[in-house]
Amino acid sequence: MLPAAAEKIEQGNSLWLDSWLRLRKNHLAVFGLGALVAIGLACLVGPWLSTHGYEEQNLELGAAGPSRAHWLGTDTLGRDLLVRLLTGGRVSLGVGLAATFVALTIGVVFGAVAGFFGGKLDIIMMRTVDIMYSLPFMVFVILLMVFFGRNIILLFVAIGAVEWLTMARIVRSQVMATKRMEFIEAARSLGFGRRRIIFRHILPNILGPIIVYTTLTIPGVMLLEAFLSFLGLGVQPPMSSWGVLIKDGAEKMEEYSWLLIFPGAMFSLTLFSLNFLGDGLRDALDVRSSKD
Amino acid sequence: MLRFITSRLLQSLLALFLVITATFFMIRFVPGGPFTAEKAVTPEILRNLEAHYGLDKPLWRQYLDYLGRLGHGDLGPSFKYPNRTVNEIIADKVPVSAELGLLSLGVALIIGITLGTFAAIRRNSWIDYLASTVGMTGISIPSFVVGPLLVLGLAIHAGWFNASGWYGPADRVLPCLVLGFAYAAPISRLTRGGLLEVLNQDFIRTARAKGASEFRVITRHALRGGLLPVVSFLGPAVAGILTGSFVIETIFQIPGIGREFVNSATNRDYTLVLGTVILYAVLIMALNLVVDILQAWLNPKVRLET
């Protein structure tokens, strides 16, 4: 008979719990996560809590440095910078998430199909990706934005269209690797249809790299949006985003340096946090990575 | 090997053709033409202008004409700058951007490879952490934030450099630093990774056992293999420097082709936009082709197959 102590069934940890525990040990990643949550909350809720309106101008005051009434100062029209920063944050983060979502959807579908079916279809699809990869996409995005108007939906689509390529490649290679595993063979011999196998068996198992890459795509997307806004081609006034704020700040930085420093710092902090978090996730989720 | 080159070449030509066609039609379908932006022009003058530039012909006719002229290397007249051809304008501005690009690439490679090499040799030392911090910073703080900040600090407050312009050699420093720094980061990471892998191999141990100095081991033996990832990154790096130049040229008021591109797009100067897009497309594709071939050649497995 087994000794009584062995009767207690050992609770193993799931992959996710394991990864979470590992992530927690990475201080930079935790910091990044915390900072992101704080920034997200601030941008979401902050503007409602402030006494100043986002569009409220105070032409007598003009541009003033940080003070008790305006914690981050005001811009040349007397608008409170803190509120504008948080509202702009909503746009920047929103565009970041939306465009990443577009890239994610297209990339995953494309990559999964190419990886799963293989053969001729795969070759054609990957050639397309290769050709598109070699095109100067930024140039096209700029053209699109200039010519077809400064529509914010178009902005999501244009940016998403640039970023999906790498996602597709990653998904494809992951799918191809998973496809060969025995449990897929088992599923197939049980008679499961192809769509079911892809969505219920393969995809959940490659969620790890997908999550990591998504977290790392968001800063890229935000960078693109800010880049376009800096050139005057992204978000249009009266809407503002961090890119627009940085652009304004850069123009006026000689006399009103805070107009550049605060948006710049906020933007950089967000990107830092996303990058740290993404790196941390990559280390935490990759079961086989060696700590070099 | 030859087959590989030919197929890649054909692919690139196809892509180039697609780019030209797509851009041509995209521009033509935009509301407003090159002449409607500024002063209001009377209908007769508008018609004369259009006839002069061939804009009144049917679309497919314009397209064929354009392709024909392209075959002769003629990119057409500029619409916004009367009496100047696109070829002239490009010839004027490209050397400036080329200088900016090459210098920035140089900065990126020098800083990146040096930092990466030291980080690999002295793992987990302060140099290693410095390198990864530089890496993080380069990725997270965009050039259009670093640029104005540097201008604010070094040019306006300290007065060491001009805030803008491209006149003397001192004017090269800030723009190339800013543009290059962003790419030094990934390059240093790649160098570090590549070198770490190579340094574990047996032939390095042999070289050391034979008494080669550490310096010689690194430079003559390890770097050759360790730099492979950097070579494959060169393609995206140059493409990135190219697009980064739009912003840098705007910030520092550099008379290059990047700034011209953005302006011409806003001004709807059809031929100039088209010409610039073609230039970029050719450049990037040629570069990717070269990098691919270089990679295939450097990889002994591929080379020995042929």
Task: Determine which of A92-106, B101-115, B158-172 has the lowest per-residue pLDDT on average.
Answer: B158-172
State the pLDDT confidence band at A289, using cuts at 50, 70 and 90.
very low
Per-residue confidence (pLDDT) for residue A288, from 0 to 100: 54
Contact B244, B236 (CB under 8 A): no
Per-residue confidence (pLDDT) for residue B40, from 0 to 100: 64
Closest CA to B143 of A160, A5, A268, A241: A268
**For chain A, percent of residues with pLDDT exceeding 70:** 92
Q: Which residues in chain A (230-289) have CB-CB distances under 8 A to chain B?
A: 230-233, 246-247, 249-250, 253-254, 257, 260-261, 264, 267-268, 271-272, 275-276
Model confidence pLDDT, tens digit, residues A27-47: 888 888 999 999 999 888 888
Residue A7 has pLDDT above 60, yes or no: no
Task: Determine which of B35-44, B76-85, B210-219 has the lowest per-residue pLDDT on average.
Answer: B35-44
Per-residue confidence (pLDDT) for residue A16, from 0 to 100: 79
Nearest by CB: B288 against A134, A139, A268: A134
What is d(CA B245, CA B98) in angstroms, rounded to the nearest whole number? Answer: 10
CA dihedral in degrees (A195, A199, A200, A204; nearest 10)? 160
From chain A, pick out residues whose CB is under 8 angstroms from the CB of B151.
253
Per-residue confidence (pLDDT) for residue A269, from 0 to 100: 92
**Does a cis peptide bond (omega within 30 degrees of 0) precede residue A238?**
yes
Task: Determine which of A82-86, A115-119, A159-163, B59-63 has the lowest per-residue pLDDT on average.
Answer: B59-63
Phi, psi values for residue A257, rounded to 5°:
-65, -25
What is d(CA B88, CA B73) in angstroms, rounded to the nearest whole number? Answer: 12
**For chain B, percent of residues with pLDDT exceeding 90:** 3
Per-residue confidence (pLDDT) for residue A239, from 0 to 100: 78
Q: Is the ipTM of this complex over 0.85?
A: no
What is d(CA B206, CA B217) in angstroms, rounded to the nearest whole number? Answer: 10
* Range with top average pLDDT, A24-28, A105-109, A283-287: A105-109
Per-residue confidence (pLDDT) for residue B30, from 0 to 100: 63
Task: Determine which of A40-44, A229-233, B89-93 has the lowest per-residue pLDDT on average.
Answer: A229-233
What is d(CA A94, CA B50) in angstroms, rounded to the nearest whole number? Answer: 43
Burial class (CB in 10 A: 0-12, 13-18, 19+), B3: exposed
Per-residue confidence (pLDDT) for residue A267, from 0 to 100: 92
CA dihedral in degrees (B193, B196, B201, B204; nearest 10)? 130
Contact B171, B160 (CB under 8 A): no
Task: Determine which of A118-122, A230-234, B91-95 has the lowest per-residue pLDDT on average.
Answer: A230-234
What is d(CA B274, CA B23) in angstroms, rounded to the nearest whole number? Answer: 7
Per-residue confidence (pLDDT) for residue B306, from 0 to 100: 43
Identify the residue with better confidence: A99 or A6: A99
Tokens of B4: 């590989």
| Averaged pLDDT, B59-75 | 76
From chain A, pick out residues whose CB is under 8 angstroms from the CB of B273.
143
Residue B302 has pLDDT above 60, yes or no: no
Phi, psi values for residue A80, rounded to 5°:
-65, 125
Contact A94, A234 (CB under 8 A): no
Phi, psi values for residue B85, rounded to 5°:
-90, 160
DSSP string, A209-236: HHHHHHHHHHHHHHHHHHHHHHTT-SS-
| Averaged pLDDT, A61-70 | 78
> Are B151 and A147 within 8 A, CB to CB?
no
Tokens of A19: 């990864």
Q: Which residues in chain B (234-273) have CB-CB distances under 8 A to chain A?
A: 239, 242-243, 246-247, 250-251, 261-262, 265-266, 273
State the pLDDT confidence band at A115, using cuts at 50, 70 and 90.
confident
User: What are the DSSP E strand ranges found in B21-177?
Assistant: none
What is d(CA A216, CA A210) in angstroms, rounded to the nearest whole number? Answer: 10
From chain A, pick out residues whose CB is under 8 angstroms from the CB of B136.
272, 275-276
Q: How close B119 gets to chain A, by Cα (Å)?
A: 12
Residue A270 has pLDDT above 90, yes or no: yes
Task: Determine which of A42-46, B18-22, B54-58, B285-289 has the lowest per-residue pLDDT on average.
Answer: B54-58
Tokens of B160: 């060491």
Per-residue confidence (pLDDT) for residue A8, from 0 to 100: 63
Contact A126, A186 (CB under 8 A): no
What is d(CA A166, CA A156) in angstroms, rounded to the nearest whole number? Answer: 17
Model confidence pLDDT, tens digit, residues B206-240: 888 888 888 888 888 888 778 878 887 887 788 88
Contact B79, B38 (CB under 8 A): no
C-alpha pair distances (Å), A103 with each of A96, B1, B231? 11, 35, 27
Q: By the CB < 8 Å criterion, does A223 face chain B?
A: yes
Model confidence pLDDT, tens digit, residues A173-199: 888 888 888 888 888 888 888 888 877
From chain B, pick out residues whose CB is under 8 angstroms from the CB of A231.
246-247, 250, 262
Q: Which residues in chain A (115-174) have CB-CB distances under 8 A to chain B?
A: 127, 130-131, 134-136, 138-140, 142-144, 146-148
What is d(CA B57, CA B270) in angstroms, rounded to the nearest whole number? Answer: 15
Average pLDDT, chain A: 81
Task: Determine which of B9-18, B68-77, B277-286 has the lowest per-residue pLDDT on average.
Answer: B68-77
Per-residue confidence (pLDDT) for residue A287, from 0 to 100: 56
User: What is the CB neighbour count within 10 angstroms for residue A254?
Assistant: 15
What is d(CA B113, CA B130) in angstroms, rounded to the nearest whole number? Answer: 14
The type of residue at B274 is L
CA dihedral in degrees (B190, B196, B198, B203; nearest 10)? 160
State the pLDDT confidence band at B106, using cuts at 50, 70 and 90.
very high
Closest CA to A221 of A131, A153, A155: A155
Per-residue confidence (pLDDT) for residue A290, from 0 to 100: 41
Q: In degrees, to the nearest 5, what angle opens at C-alpha A235 toward C-alphas B35 and A143?
A: 45
Q: In degrees, to the nearest 5, what angle opens at C-alpha A260 toward C-alphas A259 and A262?
A: 80
Per-residue confidence (pLDDT) for residue B105, from 0 to 100: 92
Identify the residue with better confidence: A10 or B169: B169
What is d(CA A42, CA A36) in angstroms, rounded to the nearest whole number? Answer: 10
Buried b / exposed e across A35-74, counting CB within 10 Å, b at 16+? bbeebeebbeebbeebebebeeebeebebbeeeeebebbb
Identify the residue with better confidence: B300 or B164: B164
Model confidence pLDDT, tens digit, residues B256-292: 888 888 887 777 677 787 788 888 888 888 887 888 7
| Averaged pLDDT, B101-123 | 88
Residue B134 has pLDDT above 70, yes or no: yes
Closest CA to A243 of A39, A129, A92: A92
Average pLDDT, chain B: 79
CB contacts < 8 Å between A and B, how many? Answer: 113
pTM assigned to the model: 0.79
